Structure 1
Amino acid sequence: MLTEKLTPAQVEQYNRDGYVVIKNFCTAAEIEKLYHTALDDNAMRNNALDLNDQTGKKTRLSLWFTPGNDVFGYLTRSARMVSMVKQLLGDKAPVCHFHSKLMQKEPKIGGAWEWHQDYGYWYKNQFMFPDELISIMVALTEANKQNGCLQVIKGSHKLGRVNHGFAGEQVGADMEMVNNALKTMELVYVELEPGDALVFHSNLLHRSEANLSDRPRWSVISCYNLQSNLAYNETSTSYKVPVNVVPDEAILQWEPESLSNADFLKKENDPALKETGWESV
């Protein structure tokens, strides 16, 4: 079931730049089903977390750990997703799913995400090896400069982990190092069409502006981990459970369960939002 999905050039780009864009990763029919599920399933809305940026605008996300038998679980567990992760992270250990999150950046009010590395958060979970963590973002709506698309610093994953502190309610990277990176490396606005995927390294520096447009920007991000990468401050267990892969056709053809069965993150349980003492160093 698992076959290589990326070309050698795409693998080379990921290793060189820290990210790669896959056009038309999901079909229009799949995106329509995913997006309407996100809008219509009360579990997403009832379990959404609001995090303030530095200006007080709210960034909203719903985050869950175990990939289930709902339509988002079928995407996360799909052969195309897991194959891509395995191709980029290697086959030294089985692919596991750390968590997925629905990013909900609403028109006019959706806040910014400050400069950060995902491993800047996950370091607090005490994952040992950032090279064994990866994220795949699938655009559910158009993402462009006007509605706050992701910005990345090309090649910044090679910096290693940058120190992070609090920026509003978010965890943000040391801006002196970010500014140094911006002087040294290229800033890229990752504009996506619905169904496009962005695959990126856990140490890639990225941010997004507030959504000041009249169009929403929604996306789903699935984060994966190799089973060999232990986390010593993580209470969920999905990060070390091999993904139970389903065929790509499951998204459209299998009957999905409700997202109400998902194990959503509660804000008070997120290690990334807790002081450890080193944030102000």
Structure 2
Amino acid sequence: MTLQMDLPASTKDDYPTRKTSEPALLYRKDPTVWGSGDGPFSSDELKGYDSRGYTQIESFVTDEEVRTYSAELKRLGSDSELRKDERVIVEPTSDEVRSVFEVHKISKVFADLVNDPRLVERARQILGSDVYVHQSRVNYKPGFGGGSFYWHSDFETWHAEDGMPRMRACSFSIALTDNFAHNGALMIMPGSHKTFVSCVGETPEDNYRSSLKSQHVGTPDKNSLSYLADQHGIDVLTGSAGGVTVFDSNCMHGSGGNITPYPRSNVFIVFNSVENACEKPFSAPAARPGFLASHDTTPVGR
């Protein structure tokens, strides 16, 4: 593992990954907050987001909205016709639904949510421009069987396999169930967003078909993870249903499996700057399908 190396300014790809046999830790080349202080976030909240790479807001949506989103999540997960769609991902060891992608194209309920100014204005404030939905999904982590999500940076995949040029995207995770430390809550290494982990392993063709169930290519090595954890620690993000976690595209995060009786479900929306539209993948034979990386860069909330 190479620690904190800089790349020549002339290098086209500032975040090379899956291209060498050795992992590396690279300096981030992009700001975390691209916009100004004008918007729903206070200057202190933006400073905290810039420092940690994430922020949490309690009671972001109402109890009634949580019930509406939860009912829609249940409807989507039990739709036998929808289960035939490749946008529905099941757990690798069971027939339980793991995720449903592109929910804003499937569901009017979630189409309204991705255009909600509570989300869109915050994304605009962070990213400094109009935004579009790069990806949306609902995640199910049922009791006694919800699988884990290994440590990863979303940007590493979006850069390598989708062609996202810069770290100019952010994710909103809205909790539809209470998040406890013991039911597979999200874990983040605060401050890890300032370092890019260059991973090893060439991207296979149609890698997404297996990686959505269990990711192996594009996952950081143990030495890099240990270094980042030693430097930054690990925050376990608990909270009540209705809260939201907003985090930077390059945050190192993951979650354990859920062996408790208590489910953990969330709505996950990725906003990307319209000035950061995806290009040719940097480290993959072909781009992933549109339900994972939208080709439609029409601004939301307008």
* TM-score of the aligned structures, taking structure 1 as reference length: 0.77
Match of 1:102 among 134, 138, 157: 138
1:129 counterpart = 2:185: no
1:195 counterpart = 2:242: yes
Give 1:4 deviation, angstroms: 1.8
1:24 counterpart = 2:55: no
Give 1:209 deviation, angstroms: 0.7
- In structure 2, how many angstroms separate the alpha carbons of the residues matched to 1:67 and 1:22? 26
Question: Does the 8 Å contact 2:52/2:191 carry over to 1?
Answer: yes
- In structure 1, how many angstroms separate the alpha carbons of the residues matched to 2:47 and 2:247? 13
Question: Does the 8 Å contact 1:225/1:240 carry over to 2?
Answer: no
Q: Give the letter for the 1:178 counterpart.
A: L
Give 1:244 deviation, angstroms: 3.5
- In structure 2, how many angstroms separate the alpha carbons of the residues matched to 1:35 and 1:46? 21
- In structure 2, how many angstroms separate the alpha carbons of the residues matched to 1:62 and 1:68? 9
Q: Secondary structure at the match of 1:214?
A: coil
Match of 2:101 among 58, 63, 68: 63
Q: Secondary structure at the match of 1:211?
A: coil
- Give the 3 Å change call, closer, same or farther, for CA 163–51 of structure 1 in structure 2: farther
Once the two structures are superposed, residues 121-150 of structure 1 have per-residue CA deviations (whole angstroms, 9 ceiling, x without a partner) of 2121111002x1110000000111111000
- In structure 2, how many angstroms separate the alpha carbons of the residues matched to 1:122 and 1:65? 19
- In structure 2, how many angstroms separate the alpha carbons of the residues matched to 1:175 and 1:44? 37
Give 1:242 deviation, angstroms: 2.7
Partner of 1:170: 215
Alignment of 1:132-147 (within 5 A): 132-147=168-183
1:73 counterpart = 2:111: yes
Question: Does the 8 Å contact 2:103/2:111 carry over to 1?
Answer: no
- Give the 3 Å change call, closer, same or farther, for CA 135–239 of structure 1 in structure 2: farther
- In structure 2, how many angstroms separate the alpha carbons of the residues matched to 1:90 and 1:198? 19
Partner of 1:254: none
- In structure 1, how many angstroms separate the alpha carbons of the residues matched to 2:59 and 2:119? 13
What is the percent sequence identity of the aligned residues? 23
Once the two structures are superposed, residues 34-87 of structure 1 have per-residue CA deviations (whole angstroms, 9 ceiling, x without a partner) of 0011112327655420254xxx58781111175576111111111111100011
Q: Count residues with an aligned counterpart.
A: 238
Q: Secondary structure at the match of 1:119?
A: helix
Partner of 2:40: 5
Segment of structure 1 superposing worse, 82-91 or 69-78:
69-78
Give 1:120 deviation, angstroms: 2.0
- Give the 3 Å change call, closer, same or farther, for CA 96–117 of structure 1 in structure 2: same
Where structure 1 has 5 or more consecutive residues not aligned to the other structure, the ranges are 247-281
1:245 counterpart = 2:301: yes
Q: Secondary structure at the match of 1:184?
A: helix
Partner of 1:256: none
Partner of 1:49: 89
1:209 counterpart = 2:246: no
Once the two structures are superposed, residues 79-129 of structure 1 have per-residue CA deviations (whole angstroms, 9 ceiling, x without a partner) of 1111000111112xx211111111100111111110001112212111100
Question: Does the 8 Å contact 2:120/2:300 carry over to 1?
Answer: no
Question: Does the 8 Å contact 1:116/1:206 carry over to 2?
Answer: yes
- In structure 2, how many angstroms separate the alpha carbons of the residues matched to 1:127 and 1:121? 9
Where structure 2 has 5 or more consecutive residues not aligned to the other structure, the ranges are 1-37, 202-209, 282-286
- In structure 2, how many angstroms separate the alpha carbons of the residues matched to 1:62 and 1:230? 23
User: Cα RMSD (Å) of the superposition?
Assistant: 2.4
Structure 1 segments (4+ residues) deviating >4 Å: 43-47, 56-59, 65-69, 164-168
Q: Secondary structure at the match of 2:276?
A: coil
Question: Does the 8 Å contact 1:63/1:100 carry over to 2?
Answer: yes
Question: Does the 8 Å contact 1:38/1:44 carry over to 2?
Answer: no
